[in-house]
Amino acid sequence: MPQASRDIQRRIKSVKNTKKITKAMELVSAAKMRKAVSRVLATRSYSDLVWDTVLHLVKKLDTDKHLFFQEPKEVKKVAVIIISTNRGLCGSFNATLVNKVTESIKLHHPDVIDTDVITCGTKGRDEIRRRKINLIADFHKEDITASSEDIRPISHMITKDFVAKKYDKIFVAYTDFMSSLKQVPHVKQLLPIVPEIDERLGHINHEKDQVDKISVDNFAEFVFEPGMENVLDAFLPRLVEVQIYQAVLESEASEHSARMFAMRNATDAAGDMIDELTLAYNQARQASITGEIAEIAAGSAALE
Amino acid sequence: MKDLKLKIVTPEKILFEKRVSQVSISTVMGEVTILPNHIPLVSQLASGEVVVNANGDEEDLMAISGGFVEVLPDQVVILADTAERAEDIDEERAEVARKKAEEVLKTKASDAEAFAMFTAQIEKEMARLKVARKYKKRGVRTGITNK
C-alpha cells in the first residue's frame, strides 16, 4: 500500500478512537446532568420559600435597620464570587462567564475602584489569573456539592467581610440553568439584599406570589422569637448561604449540559471527518489501482 | 374547621406539603403549637421534633435540626436545615452518631466554634433518637390495639 493511503487510514483510526471517547463523555455528561437537574429543582423550592419569607418580612419591617439591607452611599469596593468548573471540555462555558463578569463590572459600576474576585472552581481561577484580575481567595469546588454545608466557608467569609465593611457590594456570578439547551451566565447581587421578585435565582412561575401577597397584606406585623435582631442575624446569613448553594447547583447543572452539547458536537464533527477521510482514502486507493493497471498495460504493450 | 397549609422544606428536598389542622415545633424559645389563624410569627428553630396533626387523629412525626419557621394566618413554612420523617430514621445509627459526636466533643473540641458545632450535632442526634423511639413506641401500642 502506498504511503499516502496508509497515512489516511491511520488518521481515520485515530479519529474513530476520539469519536468513541467523546461519545462516552457525552453519555456520562447526560447522566450527570439529569442528576444535577433534579437537585437544582429540589433546591429551588427551598430557596424560593426563603426568598418569599424575605419578601414578606420586607413589607412589614423598616428594612434599613439591618445592615444587610442598607444600600451603600457610594460603591467603592466590590467582591465577586465566580462559580466555574473544575474541568474543561465544556465549550465556552467558563470564558463566557468570566466575560460576563468583567463586562458587568465595567457597565454597572464605572466608579468602582477595586474589585476583588473569589473563585470556586479551577477553570475560573485560571482565567481570572490570566486576565490579571485581583484574586483574593479560591475555594475548592467539589465535583458534586453534597449539601449546603460545603458552601458555608464561602458564605461565612463574605458575610464577615461585608459586616466588617470591607466590601460595599457582593455579587455572585454563575450560569443559570434555564433548560438543557440554554444556559445563561448571570451576575447577581448578594449583599446588600435587594428585595425584589426578579432578583431571585432560577426561573419559577410567579403565579403563587399573588396568593401570598393577599395573605401578607391582611395583618399588621410579624412577631419575632427571640427578638427581631436575633432572628434576622441568623436568618439573613442563611439566606446568603442558600443563594450561593443554589447558584452552585445551577452552575453544576449548566456545566454538565454544556459539556454534553460540546461532546455531542465533537462526536458529530468526528463523524463528518471520518466520512471525508474515507472518501479521500477510497480515491487514493482507486488512483493507485488505476495507476498499477496502467503500468501493467504499458508493460505488456512494450513486450508485444 | 379551618386548616393550615404546612410546608416543610430543606435545601435538599421538600419533605412535607399538606393541609393540616395543627403543628407542634420546638423553637429556641421552647415548644409551640400552631393552630390556624395564629399571629404572624418568624422564629428560629432548635433541634427537635415536629408533630403534625391532620384532621384530628392522624399524626406525623418528624425530626428537624435547626432552621426557621414562618407562620402566616393560613400557612406555615418550616425552613429546616435537615429534616427526616420518623419512619426513615435508623435508631441504631442515630445512637452511634450521637456517641461518636460526644466522643469527638470530649477529645477534639479545642475552640469555642468547634465546641458549638459538636454540641449542635449532639442535639441533632438526640432529637432524631427521641423521634425514632417515640415512633417505635407508638407503633407497638397501635399493634396491641389492633389485636
pLDDT digits (tens, 9 = 90+) for A64-122: 677 788 777 777 888 889 999 888 888 888 888 988 888 887 776 666 667 888 888 88
Residue B36 per-residue DSSP state: T
In this structure, the answer to whether residues B61 and B102 fall within a common structural domain is no
| C-alpha cell belonging to residue B139 | 407503633
Residue pair A254/A175 in contact (Cβ under 8 Å)? The answer is: yes
d(CA A235, CA A225): 12
Topology of the domain comprising A27-259? Pyruvate Kinase; Chain: A, domain 1 (3.40.1380)
Checking if the pLDDT of B105 tops 80, the result is no
Residue A88 pLDDT? 86
A120 as an active site residue: the answer is no
Residue A63 pLDDT? 63
In this structure, the answer to whether residues B67 and B110 fall within a common structural domain is no
Please report the DSSP string for chain A in residue order. Answer: --HHHHHHHHHHHHHHHHHHHHHHHHHHHHHHHHHHHHHHHHHHHHHHHHHHHHHHHHHHS-GGGSGGGPPPSS--EEEEEEE--SS--STTHHHHHHHHHHHHHHHH-TT--EEEEEEESHHHHHHHHHTT--EEEEE---SS--SGGGGHHHHHHHHHHHHTTS-SEEEEEEEEE-SSS-EEEEEEEEES----GGGSSS----HHHHHHHHHHHTSS--EEET-HHHHHHHHHHHHHHHHHHHHHHHHHHHHHHHHHHHHHHHHHHHHHHHHHHHHHHHHHHHHHHHHHHHHHHHHHHHH-
Contact between A231 and B44 using a beta-carbon 8 Å cutoff: yes
Residues B129-133: what's their mean pLDDT? 80
CA distances from B118 to A160, A248, B97, B128 (A): 22, 27, 11, 15
Please report the DSSP string for A97-162 in residue order. Answer: HHHHHHHHHHHH-TT--EEEEEEESHHHHHHHHHTT--EEEEE---SS--SGGGGHHHHHHHHHHH
Smallest CA–CA distance from B45 into chain A, residue: A225
In this structure, the answer to whether residues B112 and B98 fall within a common structural domain is yes
Bridge partners of A116, per DSSP, are A79
Residues B67-74: what's their mean pLDDT? 87
Distance from CA of A52 to the nearest CA of B (A): 10
Query: Which member of A90, A98, A105, A258 is catalytic?
Result: A90
| C-alpha cell belonging to residue A91 | 465549550
Return the residue matching grid coordinates 429546616.
Answer: B80
- Please state the domain count of chain B: 2
CATH number, domain containing residue B26:
2.60.15.10
Q: What angle do CA A7, A9, A12 make, to 5 degrees?
A: 115
In this structure, the answer to whether residues B67 and B94 fall within a common structural domain is no
Report chain A's terminal Cα–Cα distance, integer Å: 29
Smallest CA–CA distance from B40 into chain A, residue: A222
Cross-chain CB nearest to B42 (options A47, A148, A222)? A222
Q: Which amino acid is at B63?
A: A
SS3 A2: coil
Distance from CA of B26 to the nearest CA of A (A): 12
In this structure, the answer to whether residues B82 and B28 fall within a common structural domain is yes
In this structure, the answer to whether residues B9 and B73 fall within a common structural domain is yes
Domain endpoint, select from B41, B56, B87: B87
Cross-chain CB nearest to A56 (options B68, B70, B74)? B70
Checking if the pLDDT of B83 tops 90, the result is no
Cross-chain CB nearest to A234 (options B9, B44, B72)? B44
* B44 contacts in chain A (CB < 8 Å): 225-226, 230-231, 234-235
Bridge partners of A120, per DSSP, are A83, A139
In this structure, the answer to whether residues B110 and B54 fall within a common structural domain is no
Checking if the pLDDT of B3 tops 90, the result is no
Residue B131 pLDDT? 80
Residue B56 pLDDT? 66
Smallest CA–CA distance from A227 into chain B, residue: B43
**Of B59, B60, B46, whose CA–CA distance to B124 is shortest?**
B46
Residue A210 pLDDT? 44
* A50 contacts in chain B (CB < 8 Å): 79
Residue pair A235/A69 in contact (Cβ under 8 Å)? The answer is: no
* B79 contacts in chain A (CB < 8 Å): 46, 49-50, 53, 238
Return the residue matching grid coordinates 413506641.
Answer: B137
Distance from CA of A154 to the nearest CA of B (A): 17
Domain endpoint, select from B67, B87, B107: B87
The parent domain of residue B32 ranges over: 4-87
Bridge partners of A223, per DSSP, are B41
CA distances from A18 to A14, A22, A100, A278 (A): 6, 6, 32, 16
Q: What is the tens place of the pLDDT at every residue in B138-147?
A: 765 444 333 3
Residue pair A77/A168 in contact (Cβ under 8 Å)? The answer is: yes
Q: Tell me phi and psi for residue A32, to 5 degrees.
A: -65, -35
| Residue B31 parent element (H or E) | strand B30-34
Cross-chain CB nearest to B73 (options A39, A49, A215)? A215
Residue pair B48/B125 in contact (Cβ under 8 Å)? The answer is: no
* A45 contacts in chain B (CB < 8 Å): 9, 14
Checking if the pLDDT of B1 tops 70, the result is no
* B10 contacts in chain A (CB < 8 Å): 46
Checking if the pLDDT of B31 tops 80, the result is yes
Q: What angle do CA A120, A196, A172 make, to 5 degrees?
A: 10
Contact between A221 and B40 using a beta-carbon 8 Å cutoff: yes
Contact between B11 and A225 using a beta-carbon 8 Å cutoff: no
Residues B19-43: what's their mean pLDDT? 88
Smallest CA–CA distance from A244 into chain B, residue: B11
| C-alpha cell belonging to residue A137 | 481567595
Return the residue matching grid coordinates 495507476.
Answer: A291
Cross-chain CB nearest to A218 (options B27, B73, B81)? B73
Q: Tell me phi and psi for residue A120, to 5 degrees.
A: -140, 110
> Which residue numbers in chain A have pLDDT < 50?
199-211, 214
Residue A89 per-residue DSSP state: -
Residue A9 pLDDT? 92
CB pairs under 8 A between A and B: 79
Mutate to test the interface with B, among A51, A61, A235, A245 (most CBs of B within 10 A): A235
Quickly state the pLDDT bin for B117 (edges 50, 70, 90).
confident
In this structure, the answer to whether residues B83 and B93 fall within a common structural domain is no
